Amino acid sequence: MQHAAVRSMEALAGGSINRVYKVELSSGTTLVFKWNAAPPPGFFAAEADGLRTLQDARALRIPRVYAAGEHGILLEWLPSVPQRGRELRSAGRELGEGLAKLHRAYGTAYGYPRDNFIGTLPQGNSQSQSWTAFYRDHRLRPQLQLAERLGYLHATRRRLAERLLDRLPRFIDESAVRPSLLHGDLWAGNWLETPDGPALIDPAVYYGDREVDLAMAHLFGGFPRSFFESYAAHYPLAPGHEERRPIYQLYYLLVHLNLFGEAYGPQVDRVLVRYGG
């Protein structure tokens, strides 16, 4: 491939952070090239590392990384196949089984050997033996601090948030959690159904409570019920997971608040009032 010439480049829709191109080489190989003129330092290196870590788990289809630099990343092209009706239900079942397998790739601590990104925001991954402490100090607290700097954390939100942080041990049973390998940004736009089965892209990997991935999958919709049913059949969830779900969704809601503004404020407030009120 290193001697092949570029035959064509086609801009693709849907990239909210980067410009994305489908690249055809003279050898017949098709690639994806993601480019950003001013990414955060280490942005594409972190993406490449996350994709390789997911690949190593051999649970789901993950695009191969060919190269990554400061301003871009070159990936394997995975053709997507639209799914409807019975096909969508079947695809959901296969994805659920694959995610359950991914979550059985365990680490020795919560976090990850390197920091990475959630969207374009830094995601610190300093490792910890306590999941509750990790989620409090390296997920919720940094986003709350950023929200305060951006002017989104008014006095009531701050008070409720601090109370929620103090109460986390009430809602999280450490004895029921293991450090599972997480995709970390599991919304429906990061799921592709290919001729070879389900694939995941654009990760924000770390080791944490597997319920986090499922909480994100529930948050914005787009996954068929068969996905959740299949996951639970292959890796049953601990009692109380529905009660914990909004606590884990709070991280992603705060990320969206910080990236996109007050439109996400009411959803943040509902979680804060429920668990910190």
Catalytic positions:
185
d(CA 198, CA 222): 14
Phi/psi for 153 (5° steps) reads -105, 80
Give one word for 201, left, alpha or beta, with left for phi > 0 and alpha for psi -120 to 50: beta
- The length of the chain, given as a count of residues: 277
Nearest partner of 259 among 108, 152, 107, 109, judged by Cα: 152
Q: Per 3-state DSSP, what percentage of the chain is helix, strand, and coil (rounded to 5)?
A: 45, 20, 35
Exposed/middle/buried for 243, CB within 10 Å: 0-12, 13-18, 19+? exposed
Residue 35's contacts (CB-CB under 8 Å, 6 or more residues apart) are: 18, 19, 20, 21, 71, 72
- Residue pair 161/148 in contact (Cβ under 8 Å)? The answer is no
> DSSP for 169-188?
HHH--GGG---EEE-S---G
The rounded Cα 229 to chain-centroid distance in angstroms is 20
